[in-house]
Amino acid sequence: MGSPQFLNSPKTFVVDAIRGAVASSDDLRWHSEPGYLTRRESLPRGQVALLSGGGSGHEPLHAGFIGQGMLTGACPGLIFTSPNALQVRAATESVDAGAGVVHIVKNYTGDVLNFTIAEKMVAENGIAVEQVLVDDDVASESDDGPGRRGTAATVAVEKICGASADRGDDLATVAEFGRRTADNARSMAVALRACTLPGADRPSFDLPDGEIELGIGIHGERGTERVPGMAASELVRRLIDPVMASLGLGDGERVIVNVNGLGATHELSLNLLFAEAATYLADKGVTIERSLVGSFVTALDMDGASITLVRADDAMLELWDAPTAAPGWPNAPSRTFREVPGGIEFRAPIADEESTDSIPDSDVRLGRPAVGRWIADFAEKVLAEEPNLTDLDRKAGDGDFGTNMVAALEHVDIARIREGFALPTVFETVSDAYLGHAGGTSGALFGIWFRQFYRAAVDNPDGLDRSALATAARAGMEAIMELGGARPGDKTMIDAIAPAVSALEGATDAGLEDALRQAAVAAADGAEATRESTAKRGRASYVGEASRGVVDPGALVLAWFFESAVGTRSR
């Protein structure tokens, strides 16, 4: 049994915490629809705005760095889950003061995908956006895959960009300072004990007594190497050497050093690590210009630390030294207490149009009854299998996939899907639920997937035949591949979708029922094939060979999607 936690409910943990954050800060406002934070006071007209965001659990990042001289707003996701595109779009529109918005995005697939979607949306309204991608974690550095993760260097980017914007620099200049900072920053982390998610009964990974995990991520991911515990002086060298190598940092160069606690590391330990880091860098001929020691980018209650080095120049140091009122920055305490607000919640509208035409089933088309049974059965299956999906993702990812599925599907009305909604609305309501409530990579990709079937239902008012289903599935596959970058064989949902699409498109001489059955078998086989592959995309890619032997949960859910369609006309 797990240790007790400060918790009312895992489902309300984030919003319960936001209530306290808003109450304890002078300049923080919560916007419930669809859920984002901004400064209480608007920016002066003509000033560049800064927006960041990411999964909760990393506090004070990002909410603690909202304030004059740093961020204008932030989009919090659920624990270790990116915010969704609707949050980012609304927040961008809210903070824009007419000079454009800089998005500071950590390099995780879900964060990048959702911010990118939002950027395309706000561009339609004439809002200029520049994205600064933070990718500093050398443990995830590779020639292929999604690239280095974004971790503690995010704080430096937010500080330097914030000061640039606050003094009146234009959008291009602020973004350039951000990119310069990100390009010259690298980090490496270690864990002495893994974190435990709210409501979980065990840590995100098991670490034997006497051993430590090098190269861990800030979402509770396992590291790249497990080694016996060692003296702090030796550990600091193990962290700094790959950072210096990645930066090409040499004798005579100047740096900003951030020794960052991951949530449960005492300040004494962090100061010890900084002392060792300063000694080691001096031996290497590297000059420390500025230091930042404390817990700024955490992983819930992980006992561990990261070391970040930022190659610095005079212009960057001037911005680093500029004042800020952000409460998470050192020496910026709250001045007054505000009443604890009520009504902190995420609200995202979900389609709910009732059926006005039954659209009957036929031998060649799925009508309103069959589609309702299909998607209702699918949703019930996924909700029932949440523990198994979570366990699969815990073995080869960060353990949030099952909870993301539930976060979406618990907001749909399964009874009305089965018998009440209009045929297009059956797909639209599920798409809205994923896009507006799940967040993360899975929320965005499943939302886009169901959106293609909604469009097919709109375009085919008499029901969905084999050709319409094949067209929708292919469009969904192509959209997911474009946004997420995955290809067949990367151990993702595409491995189930691609063979199902081929089966549907190739079944030109088969009846509808037989075509659906062929697609279901192909998807199931594709999902099973992921068991012996190594992930190249998504968070499972960060654990390398540890993902082998585990079926990809996204592919499994897509196999259930096609399986649930079989026999719906006769039920």
Class of domain 10-321: alpha beta
pLDDT at position 332 is: 62
- pLDDT tens digit sequence for 511-533: 999 999 999 999 999 999 999 88
Q: With bands split at pLDDT 50, 70 and 90, how would you rate the model's confidence at 146?
A: confident
- Which pLDDT does position 143 carry in this prediction? 82
pLDDT value for 14? 94
Local confidence band at 544 (pLDDT 50, 70, 90 cut-offs): low
What is the number of alpha carbons within 13 Å of residue 21 lying toward its C-beta? 29
Q: Which contiguous run of DSSP H or E holds residue 167?
A: none
- Report the distance separating Cα 18 and Cα 374, nearest Å: 38
Kindly state the tokens that stand for 239: 């962290």
pLDDT tier for residue 2 given thresholds of 50, 70 and 90? low
CA nearest neighbour of 482 among 117, 75, 25: 117
pLDDT tens digit sequence for 213-272: 999 999 989 999 999 999 999 999 999 999 999 999 999 999 999 999 999 999 999 999
The average confidence (pLDDT) of the chain is: 93
Residues 476-523: pLDDT tens digits? Answer: 999 999 998 899 999 999 999 999 999 999 999 999 999 999 999 999
Mean pLDDT within 171-175 = 98
HEC profile for 127-158?
CCEEEEEECCEHHHCCCCCCCCCCCCHHHHHH
Q: What is the pLDDT of residues 25-78, one digit of tens each?
A: 989 999 999 999 999 999 999 999 999 999 999 999 999 999 999 999 999 999
CA distances from 117 to 111, 122, 483, 546 (A): 10, 9, 9, 31
Q: What tokens appear for 384 in the block?
A: 């029932």
The average pLDDT across 433-443 equals 90
> What kind of fold does domain 368-570 have according to CATH?
1.25.40
**pLDDT mean over 128-148:** 94
C-alpha–C-alpha distance, residues 476 and 470, integer Å: 10
* pLDDT confidence of residue 390: 87
Strands ordered across the beta sheet of 29-31: 29-31, 36-38, 73-79, 49-56, 101-106, 129-134
User: Binning pLDDT at 50, 70 and 90, where does residue 440 land?
Assistant: confident
**Encoded tokens for 104:** 């500071």
Pick from 83-87, 186-190, 203-207, 449-453: least confident: 203-207
In this structure, of 47-56, 130-139, 323-332, 406-415, the range with the lowest mean pLDDT score is 323-332
Longest distance between any two alpha carbons in the chain, whole Å: 78
Q: Could you give the residue numbers annotated as active site?
A: 219
Does the structure show a pLDDT above 70 at 316? yes
Per-domain boundaries in the chain: 10-321, 368-570
Q: What is the pLDDT of residue 539?
A: 58
Residues contacting 153, CB < 8 A, separation 6+: 134, 136, 181, 182, 185, 186, 187, 258, 308, 310
Instruction: Say yes or no to pLDDT of 336 above 70.
Output: no
Distance CA 182, CA 200 (A): 34
pLDDT above 90: percentage of residues in the chain: 84
Per the model's pLDDT, the better-predicted residue between 225 and 535 turns out to be: 225
227/210 Cα distance (integer angstroms)? 9
283 against 357, higher pLDDT: 283
Give CA separation, 127 vs 31, 38, 249, in Å.
Answer: 20, 17, 38
pLDDT at 538: 62
Query: Quick one: which of 314, 329, 49 has its CA closest to 168?
Result: 49
Question: How large is the average pLDDT for residues 271-300?
Answer: 95
67 vs 536: which has the higher pLDDT: 67
**Shared fold status for 10-321 and 368-570:** no
pLDDT in tens, 382-422: 999 999 998 888 887 777 899 899 999 999 999 999 999 99
